[in-house]
Structure 1
Amino acid sequence: MRTIRTAPSRDRPATYSMRPAPGELPVATWRLDHSWESTGTFEEHAHDFPGLAYFQTTGGLLRTGRRSWPIEAGDLFVVAPGDVMGHFHAGDLAHAQGWGVFFTADVLGPDVPGAHLAWRTHPLLFPFVRGGAIGALRMRVPEAERTEWTARIQALHDELTHRQDGYREAVAAHLTLLLIAVSRLAADIVGDLRENHEQLLAEVFEVIEQRYPQPLSLRDVAAAVNISPGHLTSTVRRKTGRTVQEWITERRMVQARRLLAATELPIGEIGRQVGFPDAGYFARTFGKVHGTSPAQWRRAGAEPTTRTTRPDREAPPSG
C-alpha cells in the first residue's frame, strides 16, 4: 500500500495519506515485531486515515503523541485520523508481537464518505472520533478474547495477501467484524479515558453522558467537575479539538440519529428526549451539524439500523 507524505508545517508534523493503486483495496496490515528493527528510525508523524495497533504479547514500546507506552499483552491502540505518532526508534518493537491495521472509510461501503455521514456519524467509527491532541487511545482486549483477535487479523491479512476469488467481500467482512469488536471495547468511553490518564476528560464525559437529555451548559459541567468555565473550555479544546458545548451537542446528535433511524417517534419528541425542548431549535442544530434536516436524515435511512420501538442505548463519542 502506497502512502503520500505531506511535509510538516510549523504547528503540525508530517502527515501521511493512503494512496491505493487502481483496483487495490484501501486496507493495509503488517506485523509489529522484530522485523521493524531494520527500518531504523521514523519521524514524528500523523495519518489522515484511522488505524489499529494490537499486541498479543508483552514487550516493546509504542510512542504516541508525547507518551511512550510499554506494551502489554492485549494492548489495543486506536489511532484516529490526525493522532500524532512519536518518533519510531529501531528496537522499539524488537520484543513486541502484534499487528497494525490501517484503512480508509470507503472500504466499509459506498455511503460512508457521503457529505453528512463521514467519520463522526458512522456507527462503527465513533471510537476513532476524537481530537488528535491526546494521541492514540489505549484499550485492553480481555484475555479470553485475544486468540480470536489474533485469528481475525491474520484472516484479514491472508485475504489481502492471497487475493483469491471474493477477497474484496471477505476483507470488508473481516474489517467490519474487527471494528464491531473495537466499538464494543470502546463502549465505556469514561473508563477508556481513565485508562489513558485523562481524568478530567473522563469526568467531563461522565457528566455529559448522565445529563445530556436535560438542560446542560458549560457552566453546569464546570460546576460538576469543580473547575472554572474558562479553564475547562481551554483544557477540553486543547485536548480534544472541540469545546465542551460542542461535545454536549455531539452527544445529543448521536442519540438523535439513533432515534431517527430506529424509531417512529415524532421529530419534536426526539428533540425533547435529547435535550432540545424547542423543536425548531433542534431542527436548526441538527441541520447545522449534518447539512440536512432530521426528516431528510430519516428518509435517507442514513444509519443501517433495524427499526424498533425501543432503541438500544448508544455510547457517547470518545474524548
Structure 2
Amino acid sequence: MTVRTRRAPLKGDEPAKYAWRPDPGELPVAVLRLGHGADFDGAHEAHSHDFPGIAYFEASGGVVRHGRHVRQVEAGDLFVIAPGDVMGRTRGDDLLGARGWGVFFTADALGPETPGAHLAWRTHPLLFPFVHGGATGALRLRVPGDQRAEWAARVEALHDELRQRRDGYREAVPAHLTLLLVGVSRLAADVVGDLRENAEPLLAEVFDVIERRYPEQLSLREVAAAVSISPGHLTSTVRRRTGRTVQEWITERRMVQARRLLAVTDLPIGETGSQVGIPDAGYFARTFGKLHGMSPTRWRRFNHLNTG
C-alpha cells in the first residue's frame, strides 16, 4: 500500500510539508517496508508530515536523519514521528543494510471520538507519544530484544490485512494498529530511558528528579538545585533541547498521572490533584481544563474504566 500525499508549496528554504488525504472509502492506515530496495529506500527531500507515524527497524544498518540529528540505525530502534517533525534530506543509500517498517495513519483510524487537533492528542492514551517538543525531532525509543519478534509480527499482520483485504479487514486493521500504539505508549512512558539512549545525561537527570518528586511541591528552582546548575541555565537548556520549559514538563508529568487516576479510580477530584502535587482543587481543575479542553469530571465521564 502506498501513502499518497499532497506537497504544500514551499516558502523560502523551509522543508517540504506533506498532507495525507485518503481516498473515499480508503482506510487511513499505511504500512511501508523500509530498507535498501524496499518500498522506501531513504531517498527523499527534507520534509515534515501533517500525520503521525512510526519507523521500526528489525535490523541494524544505515542512518535516519531527523531534525539536526543523524542516527545510526540499530536493531530495535523505534522512531515516533509526530506531525511537524522534520525528517532530514536523505540519500538512496541511507538505509543500506537496514530492514524495517514504516506505519503511518491519521487520527481518524482510531475512531470518530479521537481528538482531531494535534495538541489535543495529549488527552488520548494512544496518541500522547506523538505530542512532543519538535526541537529534538522524532522521538527515538528502543524495543527490548525479547519483544522484537512480537513487534515484527504485529506490523506484518497489519501489512497483510491492508494488502489482502479479506473479509473483516476493516475491523482487523484498527485492532492491529491499536495494539501497535499500545506498545509505543508503553515504551514512550519511560522518558528518562529514552533521553539516556540519546546521550542527554543532564536532561535524563532532570526528568529523573521530576519523576521522583512530581507528587510533591516542586519548582524550577528546586529542580535546578537537585541537578546543581542555575535556574536560568536549566531553563534555557531544557527549552532549547525539548521545546518546553521545566515547569511545563512538571505539569505534563502530573497530568499523565492525573489521567490515570481519573480513569481507574473514583477518587474525588480534589484528592486526585493532591496525589499529583497540586493540592489546590480549583487550581488543579483549571490546569487540567486548560490542557485538555474539558474539566477533570468530564474527562473521567468519557474515559473511566470499569475495573470491577
TM-score for the superposition, normalised by structure 2: 0.91
In structure 2, what residue type is equivalent to 1:151? Answer: A
Residue 127 of structure 1 deviates from its aligned partner by 2.4
Identity %: 71
Q: Deviations over 1:230-266 (max 9, x none)?
A: 2222222222222111111111112112212211111
How has the CA–CA distance of structure 1 residues 248 and 22 changed in structure 2, closer, same or farther, with 3 Å as cutoff? same
* Secondary structure, aligned partner of 2:59: coil
- The Cα offsets for residues 112-163 of structure 1, whole Å up to 9 and x where unpaired, read as 1257993111112232221111122222222332222222111111111122
* Structure 2 segments unaligned to the other structure (5+ residues): none
2:262 counterpart residue number: 260
| Residue in structure 2 matched with residue 174 of structure 1 by the alignment | 176
Cα RMSD of the aligned pairs, angstroms, is 2.3
2:306 is aligned to 306
TM-score by length of 1: 0.88
**Matching residue of 1:104:** 106
CA deviation vs aligned residue, 1:267-288 (integer Å, no higher than 9, x gap): 1111111111211111221222
Residues 130-145 of structure 1 aligned to structure 2 (within 5 Å): 130-145=132-147
Compared CA separation, residues 147 and 116, structure 1 to 2 (3 A): closer
Alignment partners' CA distance in 1, 2:166 and 2:43: 35
Tell me which residue corresponds to 1:26: 28
Residue pair 1:112, 1:118 contacting (<8 A) in 2 also: no
Deviations 1:11-62 (A, max 9, x none): 8522222211111111111111222599784211112222111111222221
Matches within 5 A, 1:1-319: 1-9=3-11, 12-35=14-37, 41-113=43-115, 118-299=120-301, 301=302, 303=303, 305-307=305-307
In structure 2, give the amino acid aligned to 1:52: I
Q: Distance in 2 between matches of 1:74 and 1:132?
A: 22
Q: Secondary structure at the match of 1:62?
A: strand
1:257 and 1:66, CA in 2 relative to 1: closer, same or farther beyond 3 A? same
In the superposition, relative to structure 1, how do residues 116 and 13 fare at CA in structure 2: closer, same or farther (>3 Å)? closer
What amino acid is the match of 1:170? A
Structure 1 residues 228 and 2, CA gap change in structure 2 (3 angstroms) = same
Q: How many pairs were matched up?
A: 306
In the TM superposition, what whole-angstrom CA distance separates every residue of 1:158-179 from its partner, at most 9, and x where no partner exists? 1111222211111111111111
1:88-122 C-alpha deviation (Å, 9 max, x unpaired): 10111232211111111221122112579931111
Q: 1:171 to 1:281 in 2, by over 3 A?
A: same
Q: Which has the higher contact order (CA 8 A, sep 6+)?
A: 1
Q: Which segment is superposed worse, 120-129 or 94-103?
A: 120-129
Paired residue secondary structure (1:248): helix
User: Which residue identity lines up with residue 305 of structure 2 in the other structure?
Assistant: T
